[in-house]
Amino acid sequence: MKTTKIILYIFLIISFSGCEKFLEEDPRAIIAPETFFASENDARQAINGTYAILKNNSIYGQVGLDHFYDNGADIIEPNRAANFVQPIGNYTLNEALADVSIQKMSVSDTWKDLYRVIFNTNIIIDRVTGNEAILDDVRTEIIAEARFLRALCYWHITNLWGDAPYYSEVLTLEEVSQLGRTPEDIIITGTIEDLQFAQSILPDAYPDNQRGRASKWAAAIIEAKIYMKQKDWQGGLNKCLEIINQSSHELLPTYEEVFDPLNEYNAEIIWSLDFAKDIEGLFDPAFPGRAFAGNNSWRPSMFNPRLRDEPKNTDERGALSAALTANGQAFNGTGLQVASKDFAEKFPLNDLRRPLNIVDNYLGFDLNFPYMAKFWNLDLETSPRFNHSDNRMVFRLADVYLMAAECENELNGPDGAYQYIHPIRQRAYETQAEWELVGLSQQEFREAIYDERKWELAAEAHRRYDLIRWGILLDVVQNLEYRFWEPNVNIRPYHVLLPIPLQELELNPNLLESDPTNNGYR
């Protein structure tokens, strides 16, 4: 990389958790506003490094965004007290706790990494635009990919904080540190522009050695989600139907096939981030300060059971361990992401998705907790503890079908909406009498969507977002029984958003000018 001045900002150092294909290329740290890309390779390495940030612990690596999209709702809770889950899972979060970084998974870590992507993509876009060292079509593609990544992060930021700092040009760190909060609707307008540009340029799919990049359909599904949150049901439906009718993605015959670890790029998955065993982030290690091995993909270990917790009859623990060993397996996870008490009790017994979401007996041994097998990986050889090769699925087509059903129902009632919900339910039940919905009112269909999204998309980082956009998070949480915490007692209306971390407020008092309450946390 050529630069006129090399000024390395610590803020810009990128973590790199590699994968077997394109992310194994060396990512470039973004180096100050003087950065110049001398070739296509320079620019692509910068894009690769930006993808690597998404795989940090604070976003899609480890638990990351699961904190804010799944915990504190009605699907997942830990099997015991856990300090890094408690602030959001028990609704005890405050400005100071937002700064407490446990394995780089705090509110503050997520804020910083999302804005790190934005800072980097602004530089990439600026330095690629008009760069004659890069072919025209390549320039356009790189800009589209950068704009998608920027839009993705602003979408998450508005979901989590609402109004927030917003900029789409190259700024110095000093200028960034003085930005106040921009209204959410203005941020979303710019985000939609980025997504529309990305969708117009990015390909439908990538060759095998490029899998893990976001296609045009990843941009389309975020745009559809934005329209639905705005209650622009026609805009949402149109975008969903584009994906259903024009993309190469298709629903798989069975629910179980979607989560097959040997088929992680199956036709139903619209976008997933690639991880590889034994490769960890260079600047964001899986266990900061610890000596033992691991990588940033230890999400399966959060869902894998912990042997010391099982089985229900502790006298059978040795027998369970022996049975697992005979299968080349182990209960060597943390058990910190298990099905919530309410979820396990209400999941329909005749639903074929239940065994992938509620496992309370394994190899003939009754278990203390209900585990979610769709995300565990017990194989010792290919997926050892805290060192998994499992991809991180972000979006899949079943979500789009349910989104289309919701939009059609809100526009015209259920008559035209059954065609989108039925394909999802049909593979979830053995008989038509079980899966077919008939004669529902608009409100009844709306409530059916509430449930169907819960059963189909459990633990896929959608639930709190859905409950918030439906306006029912408070009501749902207050009417649940939890294992040991009391989120039903602690939750308040302002918990639909996160607080800006205290250290950010101390560094930049302008963040309090438009909202001195910091989203209600003061």
Check residue 288 and give its pLDDT: 54
Range of weakest confidence among 22-31, 41-50, 107-116, 500-509: 22-31
Q: For domain 2-244+498-512, which CATH number applies: 2.40.30.10, 1.25.40.390, 4.10.520.10, 1.10.10.10?
A: 1.25.40.390
User: Cα(363)–Cα(442) distance, rounded to whole angstroms?
Assistant: 43
Check residue 384 and give its pLDDT: 76
Read off the pLDDT of each residue in 86-115 and give the average, rounded to a whole number: 91
CA angle (237, 238, 241) in 5-degree steps: 85
**Is residue 280 helix, strand or coil?**
coil
How many C-beta atoms surround the C-beta of residue 363 within 10 A? 13
Check residue 15 and give its pLDDT: 34
Structural contact between residues 395 and 270, judged by C-beta atoms closer than 8 angstroms: yes
- 210 alpha carbon, distance to own chain's centre: 20
- Report residue 33's pLDDT band, with 50, 70 and 90 as the boundaries: low
- Report residue 145's pLDDT band, with 50, 70 and 90 as the boundaries: very high
Instruction: Tell how strand 2-3 and strand 35-36 pair up.
Output: antiparallel
Check residue 8 and give its pLDDT: 28
Residue 346 one-letter amino acid: K
Check residue 290 and give its pLDDT: 53
pTM over 0.85: yes
User: Cα(304)–Cα(47) distance, rounded to whole angstroms?
Assistant: 33
Please say if the pLDDT value at position 9 is more than 70.
no
Read off the pLDDT of each residue in 247-252 and give the average, rounded to a whole number: 98
User: Cα(420)–Cα(418) distance, rounded to whole angstroms?
Assistant: 5
Query: DSSP class of residue 13?
Result: P
Check residue 280 and give its pLDDT: 62
Read off the pLDDT of each residue in 290-303 and give the average, rounded to a whole number: 66
Per-residue model confidence as pLDDT tens digits over 331-360:
988 888 999 999 999 999 999 999 999 999
Check residue 103 and give its pLDDT: 75
| Pick from 346, 327, 331: nearest CA to 455 | 346
Averaged pLDDT score across all residues of the chain: 89
Q: Residues near 459 by Cβ (< 8 Å), separated by ≥ 6?
A: 66, 70, 75, 76, 303, 337, 357, 372, 374, 375
Q: Phi, psi at residue 76, to the nearest 5°? A: -120, 145
Instruction: Show the tokens assigned to 11.
Output: 């803020």
Every domain of the chain and the residues it spans: 2-244+498-512, 299-390
User: Cα(427)–Cα(254) distance, rounded to whole angstroms?
Assistant: 6
Q: Residues near 51 by Cβ (< 8 Å), separated by ≥ 6?
A: 23, 27, 149, 212, 213, 273
* Number of continuous H segments (helices) and E segments (strands) in the chain: 22, 8
Please say if the pLDDT value at position 187 is more than 90.
yes
